[in-house]
Amino acid sequence: MTQTGRISFREDPNPELRDGELRDGQASSSGHDHASTPLLDIQDLDVTFTTSAGPVPAVRGANLTVYPGQTVAIVGESGSGKSTTAMAISQLLPRNGAITGGRIEFQGTDIAAADRKQILALRGSEIGLVPQDPMSNLNPLWRVGFQIKEALVANGIAKGKEADRRVVELLAEAGLPDPERRANQFPHEFSGGMRQRALIAMGLAARPSLLIADEPTSALDVTVQRQILDHLDHLTDSLDVAVLLITHDLGLAAERAQHLVVMYRGHVVESGPALQLLQDPQHAYTQRLIAAAPSLSSRRLVSQRERARTRQDAEKAARARDPLPGRHDDGDDVIVAENLTRVFSIRGRAPWEKPTPFTAVDDVSFRLRRGTTTAIVGESGSGKSTVAQMVLKLLEPTSGQVRFDGRDLAQMSSKELFELRRRVQPIFQNPYGTIDPTYSIFRTVEEPLRLHGIGTRRERVARVRDLLDKVALPTGVMDRYPNELSGGQRQRVAIARALALEPEVVVCDEAVSALDVLVQAQVLELLNDLQSELGLSYIFITHDLAVVRQIADDVLVMEQGRVVEHAPTEQVFTDPQQEYTRRLLDAIPGRSIELAGSRILGDLEEAQAPTTDSMVSEDEQEQAVRGPIASEGEDPYTTGGVV
C-alpha cells in the first residue's frame, strides 16, 4: 500500500497519519487510531435557501466527519452544495439561507442552532476560513496588516504593539517576503498569490482547530497554487489544524486530503479514504468526475487521422485562393508571428518622473499551421495575453510583425481588416463579462452576422439555430438572457458567437479557465470536435498545462515575455527542456495518482516510458481519448448534452 500510495510529491511531514488512514481502508467513521472523537461531525444536514420562487434545497442529508488534525476534502461541481455545507458550520450562509435540519457537532456540542454569542466565540478562534477569491476577500480600503490585526484583537490573542508584531510574524509564517513592509500596504498593491497568503495568515491568526479552505487557490496560477497549497499543508500539519478543503478539482483534493466527500446536487454521493475512492469509485458521478479531471487523464482528444484529413482539406482550400500582391508565402501556416515585441511605458507618479519602459512581450516568434492548435502557456504576467491581443490586432506590436494568411496585419487596408475580423475570432476567459447582459442569446450570436451583412433576417435565424445546435445548446435559449444561463452555457454562447462568421482562426484566451472541470471537459471536447469538423486553427492561451495536453499540438512556454520552450505537446510533457516548464508540469495537481483502470503516470521520470508507448499507436490513443471510464452508455452522467 505504501508503494502505490504516492499521494503527492510533497514531503510528507506526518507519514504516520497517512498510512494509518490508508490501512483503515474504510470510511473514517468506522474508527481512527490517532483520534477517536471527531472534531467536526455533520449529521443529516439540510440547508435551504428562500428565494422568490419558493424554498430551494441546497444541501440534503449531508454527513461528514473531520478528526483533529485531519484533512478532508469536499469535491463537487458548482451548485453541488459543497461551499454551502462548509459555510453552514460557522453560520456564514447568505441571509436567505438557513439550516433546516440535522446536527453540526463541533467538539462534541451541536452548533447548528447556536446563538450569535456562541458562534462568535468559535469564529476565528476555533473555526478559521480561507476564502475562495483572493481578489474580493480583502477589504480594499484597509491596510493588509490592519485586517489581520483585527482577527488577533477580536479573538483576544493580542492587542496594540504586540498585535502589530504578531501580524508581521503571521505574514512571514504564511510565506510572504518582506512582511513588515507588506503589512503596511493595501490589498491592491498585492498580487493574487500574495493576497491569498495574507488570507491564510488571517485564517490561522487565532490558531483555530479547524480551517475551512473554500477553493483556496482556484483563482490562482498553477505554480502559485502549488506553492500556496504546499505551504498551507505544511502550516496546518505543524500547527495540527484540521482542514476542510472545498474544491471542484478531484486531482487536487486527492493530493491534499486523506478523506474525500463527493457531493452532487446537495447530496453526499460518496465518501471514503482518498486513494480508495479514486481507484474504486462506486458512484457514477464520482466516476464521471474522475474521467473529466484533466489533471488525471490528460491525452490529446480526438483522432489524429481524422484531424489530418480535415487539415489537408483546409490547406488545399487556402492554396486554391488567388495569391494577392504583397502576400507572403507562408505555406500551410495561417498565422505567422515574427519577432513580436511589445513595450509598455509605465508613467511615474510625479509629472517629471520619466516613464519606465516595460517589455511585456520580447521577441516572440511562432507559426500556426492550418487545422492545428498552438498553446501558449505561462504564469500570469508572462505576456501570453499580450501576444493574443497582437494576433487579434487589438494591440500594435512595438516591433516585429504578425501575418495572417501571408498578409502583414500592420499593412492591411480597412477593408482587409474588416475581413480579418471575420476570419479571426476571439473567445475570452470570463463568460460573465464578455457577453452583453442586455442582449438576448439570439441577438448575441446574430450580431456578428448582421454586422458583416450576412444573409437575410430569416437566414440569420436559421444560422443562429444551427450554431447553437453545434455548441449543444437547445434552441430554446435563443430568447433568453445571459443571466439565465450557467457559466458553462454562457461560454458555449461565446463559442457560438465566435463561430458565427466561420472563422479560420480562433484565439482562445483562457477560454476554459473559469469553468468547472466537468464543463471544462465538455467545452474542450466541443472545441476539438469543431476543429476536426471545420478545420479550425486555434491559438490556445492558458496557464494550465493539464488542459494543454488535451487540446494542443504545439506548445509555446512563455516566461517574462520570452519564449523559453517551443515544442510539440507530447515532447513538452515527456521531455521538458527547461526548468521553468518542469515547474509548470510539477504544479499540475494529482499527476502521480493511480486511477481506476488507468496506469500510473507516476513521477516525471517514471512517466516517460509508459506515456511515450501509448503515444506511438494512434489507435491506442483513440481508445484512451475519453478517459479511463469506457462504458459511456451505462453512465447517466456522460450522456446529458447541456450542463
Partner 1 sequence: MTWYVLRRVLQMIPVFFGATLLVYFMVFFMPGDPIAALGGDKPLPEAAQARLREEFNLDKPFLVQYFLYLANIFQGDLGSTFRGQSISGQLADAFPITIRLAIIAIVFEAVLGIAAGVISGLRKGTWIDTTFLMLSLLVIAVPTFVLGFVAQFVLGVQLRVMPVNVGRDPSWENLLVPGMVLGAVSFAYVLRLTRTQVAEVAAQDHVRTATAKGLPRHRVVSAHVLRNSLIPVITYIGIDLGMLMGGAIVTESIFNIPGIGFHLWDAIRAGENTKVVTIVTLLVTVFVIANLIVDILYALLDPRIRYVSKS
| CA atoms within 13 Å, Cβ hemisphere of 635 | 21
| CA atoms within 13 Å, Cβ hemisphere of 184 | 4
Q: Mask of contacts with partner 1, 169-208, x by CB under 8 A?
A: -----------------x-x----------x--xx-xx--
**145 contributes a contact to partner 1 by CB under 8 A:** no
Beta-bridge mates of residue 358 = 344
Q: Identify whether the C-beta of residue 34 lies closer than 8 Å to the C-beta of residue 20.
A: yes
**1 contributes a contact to partner 1 by CB under 8 A:** no
* Residue owning grid cell 461531525: 41
User: How do beta strands 407-408 and 424-427 pair?
Assistant: unpaired
Residue 132 or residue 247: which is nearer to partner 1 going by CB?
Answer: 132
**349 contributes a contact to partner 1 by CB under 8 A:** yes
**314 contributes a contact to partner 1 by CB under 8 A:** no
**125 contributes a contact to partner 1 by CB under 8 A:** yes
| CA atoms within 13 Å, Cβ hemisphere of 344 | 10
**35 contributes a contact to partner 1 by CB under 8 A:** no
Q: Mask of contacts with partner 1, 400-439, x by CB under 8 A?
A: ----------------------------------------
Q: Mask of contacts with partner 1, 50-89, x by CB under 8 A?
A: ----------------------------------------
Give min distance, CB of 582 to partner 1, in A: 34
The sheet carrying 267-273 orders its strands as 127-130, 210-214, 242-247, 71-75, 259-264, 267-273
For residue 130, give the nearest of 190, 212, 228 by alpha carbon: 212
Please pick, from the candidates 108, 140, 160, 453, the single residue that binds partner 1 as defined by CB under 8 A.
140
For residue 431, give the nearest of 421, 444, 442 by alpha carbon: 444
For residue 231, give the nearest of 209, 248, 213 by alpha carbon: 213
**351 contributes a contact to partner 1 by CB under 8 A:** yes
Give min distance, CB of 206 to partner 1, in A: 7
Please pick, from the candidates 70, 83, 90, 298, the single residue that binds partner 1 as defined by CB under 8 A.
90
> How many angstroms separate the Cα of 626 from the Cα of each of 100, 308, 534?
40, 19, 21
- How large is the angle between the packed helices 441-451 and 487-499, nearest 10 degrees? 20
Give min distance, CB of 87 to partner 1, in A: 8
Residue 287 or residue 386: which is nearer to partner 1 going by CB?
Answer: 386
**343 contributes a contact to partner 1 by CB under 8 A:** no
Q: Identify whether the C-beta of residue 561 lies closer than 8 Å to the C-beta of residue 359.
A: yes
Positions 527 through 586 that interact with partner 1 (CB under 8 A): none
**216 contributes a contact to partner 1 by CB under 8 A:** no
Of 140-148, 172-180, 452-460, 607-615: span binding partner 1 (CB under 8 A): 140-148
CA 41 to chain centre: 30
**450 contributes a contact to partner 1 by CB under 8 A:** no
Q: How many whole angstroms separate alpha carbon 199 and alpha carbon 170?
A: 10
**Contacting residues toward partner 1, per CB under 8 A:** 90, 92, 94, 116, 120, 123-125, 127-129, 131-133, 136-142, 147, 150-151, 154-155, 186, 188, 199, 202-203, 205-206, 346-347, 349-351
